[in-house]
């Protein structure tokens, strides 16, 4: 977490989250947590997106948590164990056929690293506008040995072939090892990189 100077964190949260928000998480305090509200406008939840979210929640129960439903965007948090089957469900039942982006986000306060898959579909015309965000979290170690520590997640490459290079990027940038990925090698960083994975929050750029 960045320790910037002039940021004054006010504890006053926006106390008017949309009433229809499904599982309202406790209001986040100072530490960033994955909870997510759509507080801006008090609109009804879009029905189609709600339907997609409900399908996943019904099938997987407590393994999944709804984080937000916005127009064209659905965010689901999935446990580490269930990410593989949820992704398979999204591909086979919900017709999402490729991954737009895989983003890793470091949360040192929670001792976790979140990996967010943005799923989208080319084949199903009803899903043209839709992006499904599957977020899962891996355990974070303060002293990382990329590939040989507990920061591991199951790879989705056998379900979505398109994640191949994205997962390699997350591996080198955050040190998340993807189990089952056939080619977990370095991609963008120089061959002699021996520092922390650079997108972790405890890695500081020079002079910053």
Partner 1 sequence: MLKDLITPQNANVFVGKLGDILEKAIDKPLGYAINWGRIWSLWPVHIETACCSVEFGAASSPRYDVERFGIIEAFGSLRQCDLVVVQGTITRKMAPRLRLVYDQMPEPKYVIAMGACAITGGLYFDSYNVLPGIDGILPVDVYVPGCPPRPETLIQGCMLLQEKIKRMKARKFV
Partner 2 sequence: MSTPTLPPGLAIQKADERIMTLNVGPQHPGSGHMRIVVQIDGDYIVACDPDPGYVHRGEEKMAEYRNYVLNIPHLERPVIHDSCNILYPYVLGVEELLGLEITERAKYVRVIAAELNRCVYTMYWLAIYGIFLGHSTMFMWPAGDRELLIDLLEKMTGARVTHSYFIPGGIRNDLPANFEDVCLRQVNYFEKRIKEYADVFYDNPILISRTEKTGVLSREDAIRLGTTGSVLRASGVDYDVRKKEPYDVYDELDFQTNVMKSGDSYARSRIPWLDMMESCRIIRDALQKMPKSGSVRVKLKPNPKGGIDSVYKRIESGRGALGCYIVSDKKPEPYRVKLSVPSFRNLIALPHLLIGEKLGNMPSIYWSLNYWPVEADR
Site residues for partner 1 per CB under 8 A: 189-192, 195, 198, 203, 205-208
Kind and range of the H or E run holding 169: helix 164-174
Q: Is 134 in the site for partner 2 (CB under 8 A)?
A: no
Given the complex with partner 1, which of 10 and 208 has the nearer CB atom? 208
For residues 119 and 131, the answer to whether their CB atoms sit within 8 Å is: yes
Total residues contacting partner 2 by CB under 8 A comes to: 58
**Mapping DSSP to helix (H, G, I), strand (E, B) and coil, where does residue 78 land?**
strand
Q: Is 34 in the site for partner 2 (CB under 8 A)?
A: yes
Q: How far apart are CA 103 and CA 90, in angstroms?
A: 18
**Mapping DSSP to helix (H, G, I), strand (E, B) and coil, where does residue 55 land?**
helix
Q: Is 10 in the site for partner 2 (CB under 8 A)?
A: yes
User: Which among partner 1, partner 2, none contacts residue 195 (Cβ within 5 to 8 A by kind)?
Assistant: partner 1
Q: Is 19 in the site for partner 2 (CB under 8 A)?
A: no
In angstroms, what is the minimal distance from the CB of 32 to partner 1? 23
User: Which among partner 1, partner 2, none contacts residue 34 (Cβ within 5 to 8 A by kind)?
Assistant: partner 2
For residues 140 and 115, the answer to whether their CB atoms sit within 8 Å is: no
For residues 35 and 25, the answer to whether their CB atoms sit within 8 Å is: yes
Q: Is 123 in the site for partner 2 (CB under 8 A)?
A: yes
**Residues with Cβ < 8 Å from 186, sequence gap 6 or more?**
168, 172, 193
> Which of 19, 23, 40, 143 is the binder for partner 2 (CB under 8 A)?
40
Q: Is 100 in the site for partner 2 (CB under 8 A)?
A: yes
């Amino acid at each position: 977490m960045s320790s910037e100077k002039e940021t004054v964190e006010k504890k006053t949260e926006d106390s008017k989250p949309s009433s229809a928000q499904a599982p309202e998480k406790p209001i986040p305090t100072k530490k960033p947590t994955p909870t997510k509200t759509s507080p801006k406008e008090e609109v009804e939840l879009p029905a189609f997106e709600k339907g997609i979210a409900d399908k996943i929640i019904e099938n997987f129960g407590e393994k999944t948590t709804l984080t937000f439903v916005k127009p064209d965007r659905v965010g689901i948090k999935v446990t580490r164990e269930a990410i593989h089957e949820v992704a398979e469900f999204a591909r086979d039942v919900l017709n999402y056929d490729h991954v737009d982006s895989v983003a890793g986000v470091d949360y040192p306060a929670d001792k976790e690293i979140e990996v967010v898959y943005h799923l989208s579909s080319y084949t199903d015309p009803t899903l043209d506008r839709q992006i499904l965000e599957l977020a899962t979290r891996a355990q974070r170690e303060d002293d990382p040995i990329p590939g040989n520590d507990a920061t591991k997640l199951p790879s989705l490459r056998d379900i979505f072939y398109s994640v191949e290079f994205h997962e390699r990027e997350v591996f080198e940038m955050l040190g998340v090892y993807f189990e089952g990925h056939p080619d977990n090698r370095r991609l963008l960083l120089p061959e002699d990189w021996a520092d922390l994975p650079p997108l972790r929050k405890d890695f500081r750029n020079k002079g910053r």
